[in-house]
A and B are shown apart, each in its own frame.
Chain A
């Protein structure tokens, strides 16, 4: 990975693609997200970190409405997320999501996992969808496994397939929910490499991760969350070298050694 060049991809446009305004969410009585405000610009890469239970996963799951917020606004690509199912489906098809546990469809082959979205949501002809699928499988360097089933692949390979599956929908934004947390250590790098190459291509990314190396080298901004609030928000340099908040300092002291 070339850290310097990847950092220099500038945010060329000031278009805001994700806008979250005064957003709150509760699970029952439990206030998981408190007054979240966040603007994500096009081509911007944001890393969200924080202790477990801080609400960071819930936050990015709200962005494609896997969780429903109860107060405030979330506007993705100009579409406000409300109860309107059509809007939700539209946003979901524009926003790619990668899960901790891959969530590939075990009854479908790798290539079928990739084509199902384009064929059924985008109405792409099967042949064309397969070409797109093979293109992205090449990109994540796994094309030779196309005819296998997910159960026959290693965790790292499965996660790369999952990333390719999201990319096949040609998303404007990619969300990563602890994409490397469930992997064996030796497989983390192959997945991070794919994420870094995606960053170099200028993808807008919101990444929940514990990989601080990735945050340092790839992120434009790092958000620190604790107890449902965004406590600190800064450039990676400032965030790691000069944290402002005590809770951030404590968190960093526990994970960096």
Chain B
């Protein structure tokens, strides 16, 4: 009875007002010591000094409409984007049939978004990818169903960037895994080959591989045979990225407990089954963060094809900037393509974190 009475009379004591809410949070995090207070003031003033002019430049004094006269406004000239976005995004692709690359890119992006959800990973999605890739290819290339043919050399801008990176990354990843397994192999020829390959490729810059593919490689082809420049760059990117992926995956394989191999052996699984079902699922999970780093940097490295004369996103932007009318507005143009790169990389990075969470089986 006493206990009951006590319960009814219980007074709820609230925490002091200075320790909760915004004031409490600010006290705790921004002004907890004199040193922190000084730091807070310095950082706020630096932000104040830098953000205000940037907002003025980028938003208030800026020009947005195509072909606006930007000179002398003192603000950003986003008109360079609105006037030239077709060239920047699609290069020399014929401008009257841009619906074709746009459709292809929309298809690609929707497929990527659907594939984010692992519940949809089944045979149907695989076939959808295959068929969609074929449709995308046909849309871009044309030549059938009354579509006007477009020479591959004219594919540019974001089409080329996405083409090089999507195919580059998806082909390099499995190739890297095979190289990593080969490097662990007990067969001396395979092992030596893989070590040689990985060390050779990692020992040279991507630029030199791209030069090899565009300048040296054609010299060895028989007369009259030529391989498309984009394809050659694509192969160079795949080979380069695969070597890095291989080393990352090898790290994951070495982190595996020997007991896992033995347990798989002891129930009679063969090598391929052991790797596919037991070892790789665990090893690849461990190396998600470093693999994504490699993939992100490979994605950005596709911009190096500039130097062998392919018109990727960076090159089409530079082309626009070389027009006298737009000279001097490089900041705006580069901010624009930086945003495009950032969105793609951010997508990869958030997706990798999502995947890590989903694959985590240690916790409840």
A residues with a Cβ closer than 8 A to B are 64, 66, 85, 89-90, 92-93, 95-97, 99, 101, 103-107, 116-117, 120-121, 149-152, 162, 165-166, 169
- Asked if B268 and A105 make an inter-chain contact with CB atoms under 8 angstroms apart, the answer reads no
Measured between C-beta atoms, what is the minimum distance from A56 to chain B in Å?
17
**A103-B260 contact, Cβ under 8 Å, with A116-B277, A149-B361:** yes
B residues with a Cβ closer than 8 A to A are 257, 259-260, 262-270, 273, 277-278, 281-282, 285, 359, 361-364
**B262: A residues at CB distance < 8 A:** 66, 97, 99, 103
**A165: B residues at CB distance < 8 A:** 267
- Give the CA-CA distance A149 to B265 in the complex, in Å: 21
**Which of chain B's residues has its CB closest to A65's CB?**
B265
- Asked if B285 and A107 make an inter-chain contact with CB atoms under 8 angstroms apart, the answer reads yes
Could you count the A-B residue pairs with CB atoms below 8 Å apart for me: how many are there? 70
**A89: B residues at CB distance < 8 A:** 268, 270
- Give the CA-CA distance A152 to B361 in the complex, in Å: 8
**A106: B residues at CB distance < 8 A:** 282, 361-362
- Asked if B268 and A169 make an inter-chain contact with CB atoms under 8 angstroms apart, the answer reads yes
Given pairs A90-B268, A107-B285, 18 additional interface contacts (CB within 8 A): A64-B266, A85-B270, A97-B266, A99-B259, A103-B263, A105-B263, A105-B278, A105-B282, A107-B359, A116-B267, A116-B277, A120-B269, A121-B267, A121-B269, A121-B273, A151-B362, A151-B363, A169-B268
- Give the CA-CA distance A156 to B277 in the complex, in Å: 25
- Give the CA-CA distance A257 to B275 in the complex, in Å: 47
**Which of chain B's residues has its CB closest to A116's CB?**
B277
- Asked if A66 and B269 make an inter-chain contact with CB atoms under 8 angstroms apart, the answer reads no
**A92-B260 contact, Cβ under 8 Å, with A107-B359, A116-B277:** no
- Give the CA-CA distance A109 to B193 in the complex, in Å: 38
- Asked if B268 and A92 make an inter-chain contact with CB atoms under 8 angstroms apart, the answer reads yes
- Give the CA-CA distance A89 to B272 in the complex, in Å: 13
- Asked if B265 and A66 make an inter-chain contact with CB atoms under 8 angstroms apart, the answer reads yes
- Give the CA-CA distance A165 to B285 in the complex, in Å: 24
- Give the CA-CA distance A89 to B270 in the complex, in Å: 7
- Give the CA-CA distance A104 to B260 in the complex, in Å: 7
Show 23 A/B contacts (Cβ-Cβ < 8 Å), sorted by A: A64-B265, A64-B266, A85-B270, A90-B268, A92-B265, A92-B266, A93-B268, A97-B262, A99-B259, A99-B263, A103-B262, A103-B263, A104-B263, A105-B264, A105-B282, A106-B361, A107-B282, A116-B278, A117-B269, A120-B277, A151-B363, A165-B267, A166-B266
